[in-house]
Structure formats: C-alpha cells, structure tokens
Amino acid sequence: MFPGERSPNNSNLDRFGGLHPDTGKISKLMFEHGIPYTGGLSGTANMIMGAIMEFYQTDKTINLLEAVVATIMFVVYDGGHNVHEALWALHQRELQGNPYSIGLRLVPLGKPMPSKDLFIADYRQFIDLYQNLPQTKLALDQSCQDAWIRTLEYFKQHSHYANQFVKERLI
C-alpha cells in the first residue's frame, strides 16, 4: 500500500473514550471524517535531524541541506506530515543554537526571528537556501509551483468563494 492509498482510521477513538468534550469544532470534524489535521511541529523531523547531526559529527561530508530535503521528503511522503511541520521543527532547532542548529536561515535577513510559538514557513526563503545546489533548487521550485497550481485548481472546483475571484488571477 502506498501512502496516497491509505485512509485515516478512527478505530481507536472509542477505545480511548472518544473525543474530549473540549475538542474544537474543526478538530472534531477532522477526526469524525478521518481527515488529517495538523497543528504543530514534527517530532519525527526533529528526531531525524538530531540523528543526522550526530552522524555529521563524525562525517563532515554529509550535506546538511540535502539531509533536510531528504527528511522533509520522507515525513511528507509517508503521509503523516506537511512541509510546514518539518520546517517548524527545524526552526526550533535553529533557535536553540549549537549543537542542535544546522545553520539554516529560515527567516530572511533583516526580519526578526519569530518566537518558537509563532513560526510561519517562508517557502521562498527555504528554497533559496539551495542556490548552490541547482538541481535541488529546481526540483523544489517546480514542486512548489505544482503544489500552488493544484491548490488553486482545487479552490476553483470546491470553494464556495471561487466565483468571487477573477479566474485569470487563480492560474
């Protein structure tokens, strides 16, 4: 089975007493319909990057930027994460400094570093980190463009508000 073929499973909800009475409406809706819902940073990405930093201590030939992309590809393709969650975990590592930091600048120069609780991913800034790895940068640029086009297409087809936008602006 491939990640895209998986469907979320709520079979354990009843085993744990169902949803907490204070669960928000959006979270409840997501759980009831088996829709993935995220709201935090990725512990998996943090753990993988921690291991990579340990390996890097003994093997400086590891390209840390490539390791970041590989980590993001793994956690996203697996189906349990999105890019923002992985970047947020990396941002947390950067705030802690050495030995946790890998020297990423996830926020453009001149902009203040947000607190650990207020991270908003800047995908352009992230992609631009790969200037010296042109094939990777090209792949990231193309992936970002494809994702944006598909997001807008989905919006056009399914959003109640789609007719309020000029079609030429959507794609």
Give 71-116 pLDDT, tens digit per residue: 999 988 876 788 888 888 888 888 887 777 777 877 777 777 767 6
Q: Given a cut of 90, is residue 142 above it in pLDDT?
A: yes
The per-residue pLDDT for 34 is: 59
**Alpha-helical runs (H) found in 78-122:** 83-96
pTM over 0.75: no
Place of tokens 């940073």: 41
pLDDT for res 17:
65
Per-residue DSSP letter, 4:
G
- The larger pLDDT score, comparing residue 16 to residue 107, is at 107
Mean pLDDT, rounded, of the chain: 78
**Residue among 92, 152, 144, 149 at smallest CA distance from 118:** 92
Phi, psi of 158 (to 5 degrees): -120, -15
8 A C-beta contact, residue 31 and residue 13:
yes
